[in-house]
């Protein structure tokens, strides 16, 4: 239903998400969406899935009620596993920290040497 609504109208899909999550427990939806972002390929094939996932997280974070702060904290620092074989959580801050550390560990030379 969400995929159909998202392809028809972004506003309709946002309304459906807000109606489904208002004053309800969003732990499982948040974790599943964060895991989907982690699993999605980083090329053009994943752009639709990433867009839909970000739309879901945006609406979950923006829905006003008593638990809004908790939902935003869960999105940013969820302790649920991002994937089966990783050691970090699925929250946006944990994934970014893990990505940054792996990039720091790689040794790439910025210098080019030409043999003339």
Cα-flanking dihedrals φ and ψ of residue 89, to 5°? -75, 170
Q: Give exposure, 23-44, as e/b (b: 16+ Cβ within 10 Å).
A: eeebeebbbebbbbbbebeeee
CA-based end-to-end distance of the chain:
62
pLDDT at residue 108 above 60?
A: no
Cα-flanking dihedrals φ and ψ of residue 81, to 5°? -65, 135
Per-residue pLDDT reduced to its tens digit, 41-93: 766 677 778 888 888 999 999 999 899 999 999 999 888 887 777 777 888 88
Give the pLDDT of residue 69: 93
Provide the pLDDT confidence category of residue 106 given band limits of 50, 70 and 90. low
Integer Cα distance of 115 and 98 in angstroms: 37
User: What's the whole-model pTM score?
Assistant: 0.74
């Amino acid at each position: 239903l969400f995929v159909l609504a998202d392809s028809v109208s972004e506003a309709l899909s946002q309304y459906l998400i807000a109606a489904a999550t208002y004053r309800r427990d969003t732990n499982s939806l948040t974790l599943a969406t964060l895991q989907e972002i982690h699993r999605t390929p980083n090329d053009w094939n994943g752009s639709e899935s990433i867009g839909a996932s970000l739309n879901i997280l945006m609406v979950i974070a923006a829905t006003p009620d008593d638990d809004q702060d908790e939902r935003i904290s869960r999105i940013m620092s969820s302790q649920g596993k991002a994937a089966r074989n990783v050691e970090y959580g699925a929250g946006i801050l944990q994934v970014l920290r893990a990505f940054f550390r792996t990039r720091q560990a790689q040794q790439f030379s910025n210098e080019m040497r030409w043999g003339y």
